């Protein structure tokens, strides 16, 4: 589906897993956020951290693109204090009905990723709104 080689796919998987781990996303949340197949068990998540790349399908790659956009926007929001990214991702917000961004992504899947990205990435939100 994508045009990156298996080595780069694995590196991308490990980077996304590090980020989700840093944000405190549990294994079941990783499955939900990435929209992994229903057959994916929480014990499989450890393999993604070490040796197995995420599935190379359009839906998963779309979600990874949103996660990368969120991470990039957070780096812009807190350029001198990256630990604030973790705080922001785990703090309840009124724009997410009192939920945290992490909970919003886990509970709402793709639409949750889009909500969170729209909140932190004004250029994404502007392009989406036309």
Whole-prediction pTM value?
0.89
Q: Give the residue among 108, 116, 82, 99 at the shortest CA–CA distance from 29.
A: 108
CA distance 128 to 130: 5
Question: Rounded to a whole number, what is the largest CA-CA distance in the chain?
Answer: 41
DSSP 9-44: HHHHHHHHHHHHHHTT--HHHHHHHHT--TT--GGG
What are the pLDDT digits (tens) for 55-101? Answer: 888 999 999 999 999 999 999 999 999 999 999 999 999 999 999 99
């Amino acid at each position: 589906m994508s045009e990156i080689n298996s080595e780069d796919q694995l590196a991308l998987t490990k980077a996304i897993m590090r980020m989700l781990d840093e944000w405190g996303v549990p294994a079941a949340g990783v499955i939900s956020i990435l929209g992994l197949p229903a057959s994916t068990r929480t014990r499989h998540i450890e393999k993604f951290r070490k040796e197995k790349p995420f599935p190379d399908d359009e839906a998963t790659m779309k979600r990874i693109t949103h996660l990368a956009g969120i991470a990039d926007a957070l780096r812009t929001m807190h350029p001198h204090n990256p630990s604030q990214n973790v705080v922001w991702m785990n703090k309840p917000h009124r724009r997410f009905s009192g939920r945290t961004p992490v909970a919003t992504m886990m509970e709402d899947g793709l639409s949750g990723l889009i909500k969170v990205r729209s909140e932190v990435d004004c250029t994404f939100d502007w392009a989406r709104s036309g």
